[in-house]
Amino acid sequence: MSLHDRDEALEQAIFEAARRRLAEPSPLGSRLGETPAPAITAAGLGAERAAALLLDTLLPATIQIDHPRYFAFIPAAPAPAAKLADLLLAVNTIYGGSWLESSGAVHAENEALAWLAGLAGFPASAGGCFVQGGTNGNLSALHAARERARHGGNPATHVAASAEVHSSVRSMVRLMGAELLPVPGDRLTGEALSGALDGATGVFAAVATAGTTNLGTVDDLAGVAAVCRDRALWLHVDGAYGLGALCAPNTRPRFAGLELADSFIVDPHKWLFSPFDCCALVYRDPAFGRAAHRQHASYLEALYEDDDAFNPSDYGVHLTRRARGLPLWFALAVHGTDAFAAAVERTLATARQAAAEIRRRSELELIAEPELTVVAFRRRGWAAADYGRWTEELRASGTAFLLPTTVDGETVARLAIVNPSTTLDDVKVVLDAAG
């Protein structure tokens, strides 16, 4: 068979595997054992052998992040409807960068972005695009901030942030050739930011965090926003994890001040039930994003003949892009926003129950009350090696996947809960193993 011939048997095998994956509980997975023989050869393995290698050996040797006892990093729990839309994206070869080529997909993405912008209290004129992940979103927003500052005469050399700012911000600031202005304290506050700015030069932006990865802490967004307004600084809010909770009415007040930001990101592949890789980047004024990111070349100018056309490629550090926001839109269209709110509320309730269960056990001690759904605790009498042995035993047995972290230099345990299928019983299984 030639490269582009259809193989109906292969199609059936792949689609049947996809149906099984949707129907069955998520396997936690394992690590690859013996390394398979090379599969890439001049003649190829053929469809049957290649499919068997993929389905029977390689995919099982992965950890499924939507397992209800995946508690490491920030998990994911894509809705089946979103997974199906992502499957369609793979077989429809569309370029999601321009209105000219993919107006239908761009329209859907913009509707999802408008929903997020509205939850944040941004004006109806706000907009942006979906990018590959939070790192790309933070870079894109900070590049737009620097371009605005440079056009205003600011040398734009520094970004202010706290010690708990996500590693991607520190990395992207270095990539831009800028420097970080450290603000004392684990939680960014208006008072601390104001003190750090006194005497500083070249600062063009501040980055606040709405839900830190380690503990789920929300910065003082209102206080930071007031300082940024007074100092004419761009405020970017990294809400890659935490801003998924915007859709839960009971939690939205935690993010007061977000409506005053210049940009924010949220990763729907974290707490908004979408597949990897999906980060929503929203600008209060999209014109600044477009001015910073639109690429110019003779072959691109036809895309800009219609001034009203909305081209997602203009708003981030990308040109070629898939319509990665379409699965989020489809799940919202299928289930409605109330279902998203209920799912987030369920995870918040499970985190509160987990914290209560930890307080009930004398051998455990809660590090802090969870602000969102990250629950950190210590096992009395344990050293770092004990945490490592405990988490490895849970992983090796296929029971759960979690990793220790450090808080103020101390090794502790950490559970991140964003999956509505996770129950208190799942948490108890992990806690029992620490007894």
- The 10s digit of each residue's pLDDT in 159-192 is 999 999 999 999 999 999 999 999 999 899 999 9
pTM for the structure as a whole: 0.97
CA distance 56 to 51: 8
Helix, strand, coil tally for the chain in percent (to 5): 45, 15, 40
3-state secondary structure of 177: coil
Contacts of 292 (CB under 8 A, 6+ apart): 143, 144, 146, 147, 148
In 3D space, the residue among 172, 178, 258, 177 whose CA is nearest the CA of residue 211 turns out to be 258
Phi, psi of 368 (to 5 degrees): -160, 155
Q: Do 293 and 143 form a contact (C-beta atoms < 8 A)? A: yes
Q: Which residue's structure tokens are 């935690």?
A: 254
Rounded (5°) CA angle 114-119-121: 95
Reading the chain (435 residues) residue by residue, the pLDDT tens digits are: 789 999 999 999 999 999 999 998 778 888 898 899 999 999 999 999 999 999 999 999 999 999 999 999 999 999 999 999 999 999 999 999 999 999 999 999 999 999 999 999 999 999 999 999 999 999 999 999 999 999 999 999 999 999 999 999 999 999 999 999 999 998 999 999 999 999 999 999 999 999 999 999 999 999 999 999 999 999 999 999 999 999 999 999 999 999 999 999 999 999 999 999 999 999 999 999 999 999 999 999 888 887 778 999 999 999 999 999 999 999 999 999 999 999 999 999 999 999 999 999 999 999 999 999 999 999 999 999 999 999 999 999 999 999 999 999 999 999 999 999 999 999 999 999 998
Task: At 44, list the tokens.
Answer: 């190829």
In 3D space, the residue among 340, 418, 435, 423 whose CA is nearest the CA of residue 66 turns out to be 418
User: For the sheet containing 234-238, what is the strand order?
Assistant: 127-131, 279-283, 263-266, 234-238, 203-209, 158-162, 179-183
CA distance 302 to 270: 36
